[in-house]
Amino acid sequence: MISGRPFLQIPGPTLVPERVVRAISQSLIDHRGPKFAALLQEVLEGLKAVFQTSEGRIVLFPGSGTGAWETCLVNTLSPGDRVLGCINGHFSTLFCETASAHGIQVEKLELPYGHGILSAQVEEHLRADKDHKLKAVLVVHNETSTGVTSNIAAIRQAIDGAGHPALFLVDVVSSLASIDFRMDERRVDVALTGPQKGLMLPPGMAILAVSDKALKASKSARCPRSFWDWGPVLERNARGEFPYTPATALLFGLKESLAMLAEEGLPNVFRRHARLAEACRRAVQGMGLKILAKNRDEYSNTVTAVCMPDGFDSDAFIAHAQKSLDMSLGIGLGKTKGRVFRIGHLGSLNEMELLGGLAGVEMTLKSFGVPVPLGAGLSAAESYLLESAATGYGRP
């Protein structure tokens, strides 16, 4: 047993804010009664604001981000359809594998870990598809495994530039409510996420926003579907219900976390994430370590993947940090297994928590044998936080 509060520095699930924990602990209500209908309505409206969409319809399932992939695919595509799968990390790989499992043919546009999707490549690929055989483009906005954010605006321009009618299906699992994502402005057709990242909830839901075009596509999509069929959800939602037993407790929490986001203001939420992320990166560099992401303008504001120095295994380091300080860091996934550790800096987080977490990283690296100069990382982070603070010290 370790005294005090835990530091969960993984890129989600994040620590759930007290207000949300309390909301979740309310007595359950009848999911077919009038109070539930009011709750649902409020949550759907709040989510639309977070997805920055007025046109999109929100679809909720008890499930996970993984389930959201499946929902997105089986509702819009048919077995045998071809899609363009943009792959630059572990989660984009899995998104495409989900498609394959349902008989969808994935043309892969693959980039090395650490790079963002190249919009020029997307455009070139789509231009080559003269017959418009490609039904959709699959992209992960923020690759949680590598700490790289791809440029959704540029990819939208690429699709438009190619004059291609493909659906634009975007995983925003680790970006929504943390990094600026604009569903309507980018004309994204399906944006999908889970609750345990920027939405600051415990895991247990699949959350999607669906465009009219995607809805239309679902009329003819022939992937077998039952649980994940969004048709009955939208139909029953109109009556304040669900076709399944909803995760009512999470909806209580979601109402509260949406209220918190609204109180802070989305632009402030994005700025806070950007500032904390930059402080984290300065600290990592101050410690003499390298960041996996290759391009500054693709650095993720929710997670930083740090390259473990040669000769050290990141899995062993993470176990050491866990054992020493009860601190949880994210492991290297897929091709980076054993080679990177990841620091999550998203959701409900402030400067002092981040600095406490970075101090933990410094100390455990040192005691693991990595020659980091104590305090160098922290002072770099502190300097940045001070210079980037609003007037006086103030807050961003």
Binding positions for a second copy, 238-277, rule CB under 8 A = 243-250, 260, 263-264, 272
Query: Which of 155/318 has CB closer to a second copy?
Result: 318
**Binding residues among 103-122 for a second copy as defined by CB under 8 A:** 103
State both tokens at 346: 């998203």
Query: Which of 89/360 has CB closer to a second copy?
Result: 360
Give the DSSP letter string of 26-60: SPP--TTSHHHHHHHHHHHHHHHHHHT-SS-EEEE
**Binding residues among 168-197 for a second copy as defined by CB under 8 A:** 194, 196
| Rounded CA separation 287/217 (Å) | 50
Query: Which of 118/317 has CB closer to a second copy?
Result: 317
**Binding residues among 309-338 for a second copy as defined by CB under 8 A:** 320, 322-328, 331
| Rounded CA separation 122/186 (Å) | 15
Could you say which of 52, 92, 98, 193 contacts a second copy (CB under 8 A)?
98
Query: Which of 80/165 has CB closer to a second copy?
Result: 80
Query: Which of 123/229 has CB closer to a second copy?
Result: 229
Could you say which of 101, 128, 153, 316 contacts a second copy (CB under 8 A)?
101
The alpha helices in the chain, defined as continuous H runs, are 18-24, 34-51, 65-76, 90-101, 119-128, 152-161, 212-220, 230-237, 248-264, 266-286, 314-325, 351-368, 376-387
Could you say which of 86, 148, 293, 359 contacts a second copy (CB under 8 A)?
359
> Which is it for strands 167-171 and 190-193: parallel, antiparallel or unpaired?
parallel
Residue burial 330-352, b: 16+ Cβ < 10 Å; e: rest:
bbbbeebeebbbbbbbbbbbebe
Q: Total residues at the site for a second copy (CB under 8 A)?
A: 111
219 lies in the site for a second copy, by CB under 8 A = no
Query: 126, 132 in Cβ contact below 8 A?
Result: no
The number of CA neighbours under 13 Å toward the Cβ of 121 is: 18
Q: Rounded to the nearest whole angstrom, what is the least distance from the CB of residue 170 to a second copy in the complex?
A: 19
Q: What is the DSSP letter of 299?
A: B
Could you say which of 37, 129, 376, 388 contacts a second copy (CB under 8 A)?
376
In the three-class reduction of DSSP (H, G, I as helix; E, B as strand; rest coil), residue 86 is classed as strand
Q: Rounded to the nearest whole angstrom, what is the least distance from the CB of residue 24 to a second copy in the complex?
A: 7
Stretch binding a second copy (CB under 8 A), from 61-69, 106-114, 174-182, 304-312:
61-69
List C-alpha distances in Å: 226 to 136, 176, 194.
22, 27, 20
How many residues can be counted in the chain? 396
Q: Rounded to the nearest whole angstrom, what is the least distance from the CB of residue 352 to a second copy in the complex?
A: 4
Provide the mask over 8-37, with x wherever binding to a second copy is found by CB under 8 A and - wherever it is not: x-x-xxxxxxx--xx-xxxxxxxxxxx---
Could you say which of 133, 216, 239, 395 contacts a second copy (CB under 8 A)?
395
Stretch binding a second copy (CB under 8 A), from 49-57, 107-115, 211-219, 372-380:
372-380
**Binding residues among 76-95 for a second copy as defined by CB under 8 A:** 79
The alpha helices in 129-265, defined as continuous H runs, are 152-161, 212-220, 230-237, 248-264
Query: Which of 79/112 has CB closer to a second copy?
Result: 79
